[in-house]
Amino acid sequence: MSEGRVLAASHEGAYVIRFEGDVRLTLCTTIDDYFEHMYEDPEFFSVWVDLCDAEGLDSTTLGLLAKLALTVKERFGFQPTIYSCNAGINRLVRSMGFQRLFELREQVCANPDDVTVVPTVPGSEQAVKDKIIEAHRVLMGLNPTNRARFKDLLAALEGG
């Protein structure tokens, strides 16, 4: 698998966020900071998440995506969209319960011309740990299956 990266484009409040490669917890600060930047845009009105070039998503990344959907619904009143053309990624996001959080489209996303790499934002060890814990709490809150799936990991993270 290729190393993960995050790309994004925006135009007049419409955002496209593209994950490429193997997107892991090493990018959690970058992802979360970009989401916060997006929420601060006074014109923000839509967000599409393009997973067509993602090869893998770890549970921290999935938790941050769930947090995105919940925040967007609560603060802005709409449901974000995920585009994915990878059967494995589609199964993964459905297994997490994302069909309740996102509009899921199993097709290629429109490709904006001005997509750029989101600069990596380093985080302290504690800041990354806090984001990992938060992401897993969000996932666990989605359904009983996720709660059982991540309870031991969360207990280990919170105890360490």
How is residue 22 written in tokens? 């193997």
Q: Give 102-150 pLDDT, tens digit per residue.
A: 999 998 877 767 889 999 998 899 999 999 999 999 999 999 999 999 9
Please give the residue range of the domain that contains residue 57. 5-159
For the chain, how many structural domains are there in total?
Answer: 1
Radius of gyration of the chain (CA): 15
Specify the pLDDT at position 107: 82
- Which CATH number characterizes residue 22's domain? 3.30.750.24
What pairing do the DSSP bridges indicate for beta strands 81-83 and 46-57?
parallel
pTM: 0.95
Mean pLDDT, residues 6-13 taken together: 95
Q: Give 10-48 pLDDT, tens digit per residue.
A: 999 999 999 999 999 999 999 999 999 999 999 999 999
| Region for residue 13 given its phi and psi (left: phi exceeds 0; alpha: psi -120 to 50; beta: otherwise) | left
Specify the pLDDT at position 109: 76
- CA dist., res. 37 & res. 142, Å (int): 25
Q: Which residues contact 3 (CB under 8 A, 6 or more apart)?
A: 21, 22
- 8 has which bridge partners? 17, 116
Specify the pLDDT at position 58: 97
- CA dist., res. 35 & res. 39, Å (int): 6
